[in-house]
Amino acid sequence: MNQIIDPFNRHITYLRVSVTDHCNYRCHYCRDEDHQTHTTRSEVLAFEEIVRIVGLFAELGVTKVRLTGGEPLLRKDILDLTKMLGDIPGLTDIPLSTNAHLLSSFAEKLKSHGINRVNISIDSLIPERFKEITRDGDLARVIKGIDAAIAAEMNPIKLNMVVMKGVNDEEIESMIDFAIDRGLDIRFIETMPIGLAGIEALDRHYSEKEILERVYKKYGNKLIAKDSKQTDGPAKSMLIEGTNTSIATISAVSNHFCASCNRVRLTAKGDLILCLGQKDSVSLRDAVRSKMNDEEIKNLIIKAITKKPEKHFFSSDIDNISNRQMVEIGG
């Protein structure tokens, strides 16, 4: 079977696909306060184009495709896309990342269309604080979406909390309790300097070390390391003994997990992004809209992977990433 292997012998088996760069939330670490999305319909990949590209990645050994945004549930007829992706040979895992604002009306349908699991962003359990972080988000509606996913028997459901010093860091323990009460997994994420919003958020950076000190203080004698699969992301999980909840951290700034990187990203506009910390990309939209055949596009993908860097430089080279907005590249 064909496989995508980068210059550092990493097997690329995971593709993150942003289906829209629009979002109904405006989290202040994700995009600038005055940032507006002006993407036109013609700029965005059509479903048929996404399916063609994903199919070619599957032929090259990708087995996991995560749908992201922006907010993917804003994309019109998103259920049609999930069904189309489910028919691609070789794909074994098609999860979705969402802010859950619309999830209560989608959960059952997503499950029936092959989306068995979701990652849900939730940075606070205090309504006013949540509203401030998301710039007018609705915590009650998000929790309703979480409960709808539970009712639909999606599994696993992972909560993602971006931890920010002086903003929500004292909620680490209460967020764990919330996850345990609902039998969910939780991941604590460091702020990343993507775009000006992310760079400005660095003064609120709360490190993995600080997060884990809090976690171990409360649950240290109950944590059991979990084995990871090849298609798993960078999070290293620990099960809380006696519960159905695992805790993990994603520490792109504190620790390079680049040696095990197995993913690339496809933006809503069709740009293949090789690393969050680098600006190199190639337009697969232009390729599929040209007269290139499938073999030529696969060769283009393989050639692009040769530019995937060994590691990112979040701590030393801000210029590489200051011109992007996280909302535009799918996280």
Question: And the tokens for 228?
Answer: 């990871």
- What is the rounded CA–CA span in Å between residue 74 and residue 81? 13
**pLDDT tens sequence across 124-170:** 999 999 999 999 999 999 999 999 999 999 999 999 999 999 999 99
Question: And the tokens for 134?
Answer: 């998301």
Q: Which long-range contacts (CB under 8 A, 24 or more apart) does 125-130 make?
A: 125/171, 125/174, 125/175, 125/178, 126/171, 129/167, 129/168
Backbone angles phi, psi at 198, to 5 degrees: -70, -40
CB-CB contact of 103 with 72 (8 Å)? no
CB-CB contact of 251 with 190 (8 Å)? yes
**pLDDT tens sequence across 199-219:** 666 778 899 999 999 999 999
Express as a percent the part of the chain with pLDDT over 70.
85
What are the Cα distances from residue 127, in Å, to 72, 135, 138? Answer: 23, 12, 7
Tell me if residue 121 falls in helix, strand or coil.
Answer: strand
What are the Cα distances from residue 176, in Å, to 48, 126, 159, 224, 280? Answer: 40, 14, 10, 15, 37
- Delineate the domains of the chain, giving CATH numbers in brackets: 14-329 (3.20.20.70)
Q: Is the pLDDT at 103 greater than 90, yes or no? A: yes
